[in-house]
Amino acid sequence: MTYLAKPKLHHPSLAKNRVGYTRRDYEGKISTLCAGCGHDSISAAIIQACWELDIEPHRVAKLSGIGCSSKTPDYFLGNSHGFNTVHGRMPSVLTGAYLANRELIYLGVSGDGDSASIGLGQFAHLMRRGVNMTYLVENNGVYGLTKGQFSATADKGSRSKKGQTNSDAPIDLVTLALFMGATYVARGFSGDKAQLVPLIRAALAHQGAAVIDILSPCIAFNNHAGSTKSYDYVREHNEAVNRLDFFPQREEITAEYGAGELVQIRQHDGSVVNLRKLHTDYDPTDRIRAMSYVQEHAARGELVTGLLYVDADAGDLHEQIGTVEQALNTLGAAELCPGSAALEKINASLR
Amino acid sequence: MQKIEAVNDFVVKFANINGSGSASANELFARAILRMGVPVSPRNIFPSNIQGLPTWFEVRVTEHGYLGRRGGVDMMVAMNPQTWDQDVREIDPGGYLFYDSSKPIPRSRFRSDIHVLAMPLTELCNDTYSDARERQLFKNIIYIGALTQLLDIDPAEIEKLFGEQYKGKEKLLESNVQALHLGRQYARQNLKPIALKVERRDCVGDRIFVDGNSAAALGCVYGGATVCAWYPITPSSSVAEAFQRYTQKLRVDPTSGQHRYAIIQAEDELASIGMVIGAGWNGARSFTATSGPGVSLMTEFIGLAYFAEIPAVIINVQRGGPSTGMPTRTQQADVLACAYASHGDTKHVLLFPEDPYECFEMSAQALDLAERLQTPVFVMTDLDIGMNQRLSRPFTWDDRREYDRGKVMSREELDAGADFGRYLDVDGDGIPYRTYPGTHPTRGGYFTRGSTKNAYATYSEAGADYVYNMQRLRQKFETAKSLVPLPVLSAARFPARFAALFYGSTSPAMHEALDALAEQGIYINALRLRAFPFQNEIADFIASHAKVFVLEQNFDAQLTTLLVNEAGVNPASLVPILHYDGTPITARFITQEIAERVSKLNVRPLRENMVA
């Protein structure tokens, strides 16, 4: 963390995006996390992605559970409404918020303890329902705020800083998300911003439940030899299946690709995801194959990253339950109250 | 032998087997009497089971309009061999036993002080119908037919009800009418007349016949709830199901066919309250319906909503505890659990409806209160009100009524430079302003968290900030006193030394008991509490009487505790009278308990310091 206050004045020459904001306008309070924390890199990637996507900051609602990761929404998008909810229950609060107003962009930030341990149920059910949101898991395999206990994503056999060996099988959130029906599933690494920013951009544009499991090493409690979530370990075992270029619907596609290496996916909102294949055998539109692919590589000790699955035609919960286009929180008595005449009819039917 | 004689004032209890189709037949019986202008009060006493276990349906016929459970049985319709002995025992001396005599029952299992009406129902059915399901279902209608004959219930009323039920299904209508008359004919030819009669009256008026859960759901529709998140739990499930039913009719956009509501059946109560809080935070009116075990699961979230000051409405249809407790029995045993739900220093607004009318009113009002006070509000109904159809005042709605959305700062106000402090008390009522997410590009955004904050919602662990917040919350709770419904006084005809406090579903039995006590010369001033926090009038009322009986349907005298804790009442002046066996409290119970205590309290020693 830094104790240096950020200057409030911005340099006049800072570049502005199409909606008139500089990158600094997407920042929040100064982080209180440890220096070198992977989570801070993720916050920076969120800031970058939102700025690049020309999202007005106040149109984003950012929700989190409890833990180091869940503190981070205070450190980006300072003009957005944020909600630090209870441990493991961000998904339900976000679902309710999203039901109330379908017009905002919903960003859920959680950690591995918050999502895979205490919150596994809500994580799974949110995917099932197809809530239109971006769900970032800042995954470091350890409880930071309570000083170093294993979380449910810690690999079997990995060692804690205090020397204990984890004997429980790990939960792979990517596989779980695929299984539970998430329609955009990716894995990233906080140390690879070039990969992460486009993953977040495409996830924000995705109309449905988008999950990114982001390996985000804990510098204080899980960055030692014997950990499988350390910077070194993740770098050594990272197997990126693709490189992603994301183009919002209005942007012209500028990148050039070699023959046979491109997968192009047009999403529901008109945006285009261009994937540069790094593994020629990988098809990110095949959900069943994605699950086994991730597991096969995990068995070899490889950590598959990149855009693992996307259903470009995904629908969201509001579509499924047929709610009106207008945000429910804007409806007044005129639209909601059936009035006394209707009530009189109901009374008559009850006699 | 004595014969119970009564016109329009008796209790018929049906003993059936769950899943046999008896419930709809018995309801038909109750409705037919209602249609004759005579009030009835039916109660379903059912097991936590779908098929096979015993179930009872008690119909009180009451020209006086006493809708509480009376206690005692004048006529038993014993259709369940499993519970025969218990059912026969329950009949008042001189009462009647109607039973299926197809299989002989030994004489030792009858009583000599009751009148027996034997009808070979199974035989009759087997002779008339060949299909097994028809035999089962029409058996119910045949006994209803026999009862209409015995009790002088107009068969035309039942036929009319059949007509409404089987509109367009002529064949079903016809066979039901046939079964009805089969029963009537048998009774006319073979059964001795009895002295319980229904006579046509005009005592129902414009009242409606509805269950409290449907009424609460309709209150949520009228009160503007757009988000309902719930998890099935007896006895509350029918609240959300009724909300679904009503919104499908009343809340569909006429042009697009789209819904002006969202209903989510969540994976558990943790998720349902989470969704309600998320929706409330984002400016939609939202509610959940649950029962005690659900409230237990929700308490962490309820604490967050209390401190983060988020509107939420929780309809608690109370039952016996714990989770594997008495899910199909009624109690008022969640008063303390809800008043103080969650860790930390929390207190919540509770509303106590007495009947379906108030379930409707208070559910709609709870949505206003939750937004005005920015806090969770409980509607404390129970199984007795929620799952039984009750004769009730018709629902009313004033079309000029606006929803009270509380203190919400708009984009215009923020543009005009209003000082926005999310947890700042600007006008002394303890209620701060809030903004909906997405209101303004640069102003009014804030980060919502529990209690580690200052008045401007910035992270703070400073003691002074915490103290400010707690004192403001206390002020807010004071403000709530002026907003929640006032208690209702039923004053005795003559000046009274004694008083009674009661709430919720105890109401009809209490009013009947007050009449019965007055007949005995015992005059009681009765106050029905309708909300927590308690207004100061309640403490004044208690202080102005020698003793105050507190009627509750729980074991621990929970409201009494709350009165002592929160209203500064002298505990010695309160005398709890508690009914907690899972059945609804009866007028007979209340009358007896109060009369006994009053007679003891009125005893004067003959000489000083000596007991009489």
Helix (H) or strand (E) holding B411: helix B411-415
The mean pLDDT value for B55-83 works out to 95
pLDDT at B66: 96
pLDDT at B530: 98
Equal CATH topology for B210-392 and B488-602: yes
For residues B532 and B339, what is the distance between their CA atoms, to the nearest angstrom? 8
Q: Own/partner pairs for A159-163, CB < 8 Å, 24+ apart?
A: A159/A224, A159/A226, A159/A227, A160/A221, A160/A222, A160/A227, A161/A221, A161/A222, A161/A224, A161/A227
Please tell me if residue A121 touches chain B, with a CB cutoff of 8 Å.
yes
Please tell me if residue A340 touches chain B, with a CB cutoff of 8 Å.
yes
Our CA-based measurement puts residue B435 at a distance from the nearest CA of chain A, in whole angstroms, of: 9
Provide the residue type at B241 as one letter.
E
How many other C-beta atoms can be found within 10 angstroms of the C-beta atom of residue B425? 19
- As a whole number of angstroms, the longest Cα–Cα distance in chain B is 89
User: Using one digit for the tens of pLDDT, what is the confidence trace for B525-560?
Assistant: 999 999 999 999 999 999 999 999 999 999 999 999
Residue with tokens 């009318």: B357
Q: Are strands A105-111 and A133-139 parallel, antiparallel or unpaired?
A: parallel
For residues A330 and A338, what is the distance between their CA atoms, to the nearest angstrom? 17
Contact indicator for A211, A127 with CB cutoff of 8 Å? yes
User: Taking the domain B210-392, which CATH number applies?
Assistant: 3.40.50.970
Size of interface A-B (CB pairs under 8 A): 226
Q: Does the beta-carbon distance from A58 to B300 stay under 8 Å? A: no
Closest by CA to B561, choosing from B349, B228, B337, B262, is B337
Instruction: Tell me how far CA of residue A321 lies from CA of A23, A325, B261, B369, in angstroms.
Output: 37, 12, 9, 28
Nearest by CB to A321, which of B210, B259, B441? B259
User: Using one digit for the tens of pLDDT, what is the confidence trace for B600-609?
Assistant: 988 665 555 5
Nearest by CB to A338, which of B222, B276, B448? B222
Provide the residue type at B405 as one letter.
R
How high is the ipTM of this complex? 0.95
User: Using one digit for the tens of pLDDT, what is the confidence trace for A33-56?
Assistant: 999 999 999 999 999 999 999 999
Question: Burial letters for B327-346: b for 16+ Cβ neighbours within 10 Å, e otherwise?
Answer: bbbbbbbbbbbbbbbbeeeb
User: Using one digit for the tens of pLDDT, what is the confidence trace for B150-172?
Assistant: 999 999 999 999 999 999 999 99
Name the token pair of A188.
């990233």
Our CA-based measurement puts residue B447 at a distance from the nearest CA of chain A, in whole angstroms, of: 4
Q: Please, which residues 14-33 of chain A have a Cβ atom closer than 8 Å to chain B? A: 29
What does residue A262 show for φ and ψ, rounded to 5 degrees?
Answer: -110, 135
Q: Does the beta-carbon distance from B271 to A339 stay under 8 Å? A: no
Half-sphere exposure of B531 (CA within 13 A, CB side): 24
Nearest by CB to B275, which of A81, A92, A346? A92
How many other C-beta atoms can be found within 10 angstroms of the C-beta atom of residue B191? 16
For residues A170 and A167, what is the distance between their CA atoms, to the nearest angstrom? 9
Q: Are strands A242-247 and B312-318 parallel, antiparallel or unpaired?
A: unpaired
Please tell me if residue A1 touches chain B, with a CB cutoff of 8 Å.
no
The 3 state secondary structure assigned to B146-199 is HHHHHHCCCHHHHHHHHHHHCCCCHHHHHHHHHHHHHHHHHHHHHCCCCCEECC
Q: Does the beta-carbon distance from B264 to A338 stay under 8 Å? A: no
User: Taking the domain B488-602, which CATH number applies?
Assistant: 3.40.50.920
Our CA-based measurement puts residue A283 at a distance from the nearest CA of chain B, in whole angstroms, of: 32
For residues A59 and A198, what is the distance between their CA atoms, to the nearest angstrom? 20
Instruction: Order the strands of the B54-62 sheet from edge to edge.
Output: B40-45, B54-62, B9-17, B73-78, B91-100, B115-119
What does residue B128 show for φ and ψ, rounded to 5 degrees?
Answer: -90, -35
Name the token pair of A298.
């995990």
First-to-last C-alpha distance (Å) of chain A: 69
Q: Which residues of B touch A347 (CB under 8 A)?
A: 206, 208, 394-395
Burial class (CB in 10 A: 0-12, 13-18, 19+), B110: middle
User: Taking the domain B6-197, which CATH number applies?
Assistant: 3.40.920.10
pLDDT at B121: 96
Identify the closest residue of chain B to A339 by CA–CA distance.
B399
Nearest by CB to B397, which of A125, A339, A350? A339
Domains of chain B: which residue ranges?
6-197, 210-392, 407-484, 488-602
Our CA-based measurement puts residue A185 at a distance from the nearest CA of chain B, in whole angstroms, of: 22
Q: Please, which residues 279-308 of chain A have a Cβ atom closer than 8 Å to chain B? A: none
Q: Please, which residues 123-142 of chain A have a Cβ atom closer than 8 Å to chain B? A: 125, 129
Identify the closest residue of chain B to A20 by CA–CA distance.
B441
Q: Own/partner pairs for B293-296, CB < 8 Å, 24+ apart?
A: B293/B233, B293/B269, B293/B321, B293/B322, B293/B323, B294/B231, B294/B233, B294/B236, B294/B269, B295/B269, B295/B334, B295/B337, B295/B338, B295/B341, B296/B323, B296/B337
Provide the residue type at B53 as one letter.
L
For residues A196 and A214, what is the distance between their CA atoms, to the nearest angstrom? 8
Name the token pair of B37.
């202008």
Q: Own/partner pairs for B124-127, CB < 8 Å, 24+ apart?
A: B124/B182, B124/B186
Identify the closest residue of chain A to B448 by CA–CA distance.
A83
Nearest by CB to A82, which of B276, B401, B448? B448
Please tell me if residue A80 touches chain B, with a CB cutoff of 8 Å.
yes
Nearest by CB to A96, which of B250, B251, B286? B286
Please tell me if residue A78 touches chain B, with a CB cutoff of 8 Å.
yes
DSSP string covering A105-149, please? EEEEEEEHIIIIITTHHHHHHHHHHT-SEEEEEEE-SEETTTTSE
Closest by CA to A349, choosing from B31, B594, B565, B421, is B31
Our CA-based measurement puts residue A99 at a distance from the nearest CA of chain B, in whole angstroms, of: 7
- Parts of chain A with a pLDDT under 50: 1
Provide the residue type at A70 as one letter.
S
Q: Which residues of B touch A324 (CB under 8 A)?
A: 253, 256, 258-260
Q: Is the previous residue joined to B533 through a cis bond, with omega within 30 degrees of 0?
A: yes
For residues A126 and A309, what is the distance between their CA atoms, to the nearest angstrom? 17
DSSP string covering A70-117, please? HHGGGGB-TTSEEEE-STT-HHHHHHHHHHH-TTSEEEEEEEHIIIII
Name the token pair of B362.
């208070």
The 3 state secondary structure assigned to B499-561 is EEEEEHHHHHHHHHHHHHHHHCCCCEEEEEECEECCCHHHHHHHHCCCEEEEEECCCCCHHHH
For residues B327 and B382, what is the distance between their CA atoms, to the nearest angstrom? 11
Q: Does the beta-carbon distance from B304 to A85 stay under 8 Å? A: yes
Number of H helices and number of E strands within chain A? 12, 13
Provide the residue type at B434 as one letter.
R
Provide the residue type at A89 as one letter.
R
Contact indicator for A139, A112 with CB cutoff of 8 Å? yes
For residues B263 and B254, what is the distance between their CA atoms, to the nearest angstrom? 19
For residues B269 and B267, what is the distance between their CA atoms, to the nearest angstrom? 7
Tell me, rounded to whole angstroms, the distance of Cα A164 from its chain centroid: 30
Instruction: Please state the length of chain B.
Output: 612
pLDDT at A4: 64
Please tell me if residue A323 touches chain B, with a CB cutoff of 8 Å.
yes
For residues B274 and B304, what is the distance between their CA atoms, to the nearest angstrom? 10
Please tell me if residue A82 touches chain B, with a CB cutoff of 8 Å.
yes
Burial class (CB in 10 A: 0-12, 13-18, 19+), B89: exposed
* Cβ-proximal residues to B471 (8 Å cutoff; 6+ apart), any chain: none
How many other C-beta atoms can be found within 10 angstroms of the C-beta atom of residue B99? 24
How many other C-beta atoms can be found within 10 angstroms of the C-beta atom of residue B124? 22
Nearest by CB to A95, which of B224, B268, B278? B278
For residues B511 and B526, what is the distance between their CA atoms, to the nearest angstrom? 9
What does residue A213 show for φ and ψ, rounded to 5 degrees?
Answer: -90, 115
In order of start, what are the domains of chain A with their CATH numbers? 23-349 (3.40.50.970)
For residues B378 and B278, what is the distance between their CA atoms, to the nearest angstrom? 17
Q: Does the beta-carbon distance from A321 to B397 stay under 8 Å? A: no
Task: Tell me if residue B264 falls in helix, strand or coil.
Answer: strand
Q: Where are the alpha helices (DSSP H) in chain A?
A: 38-52, 68-71, 90-100, 112, 120-129, 173-180, 193-205, 231-237, 287-299, 317-321, 333-336, 339-349
Q: Does the beta-carbon distance from B398 to A333 stay under 8 Å? A: no
For residues B419 and A275, what is the distance between their CA atoms, to the nearest angstrom? 48
Contact indicator for B20, B140 with CB cutoff of 8 Å? yes
How many other C-beta atoms can be found within 10 angstroms of the C-beta atom of residue B188? 14
Q: Does the beta-carbon distance from A338 to B251 stay under 8 Å? A: yes
Q: Which residues of B touch A5 (CB under 8 A)?
A: none
DSSP classification of residue A215: E
The mean pLDDT value for B551-580 works out to 97
DSSP classification of residue A169: P
Identify the closest residue of chain A to B253 by CA–CA distance.
A324
Contact indicator for B282, A97 with CB cutoff of 8 Å? yes
Identify the closest residue of chain B to A103 by CA–CA distance.
B438
pLDDT at B608: 54
pLDDT at B611: 43
Q: Which residue has the higher pLDDT, A241 or B59?
A: B59
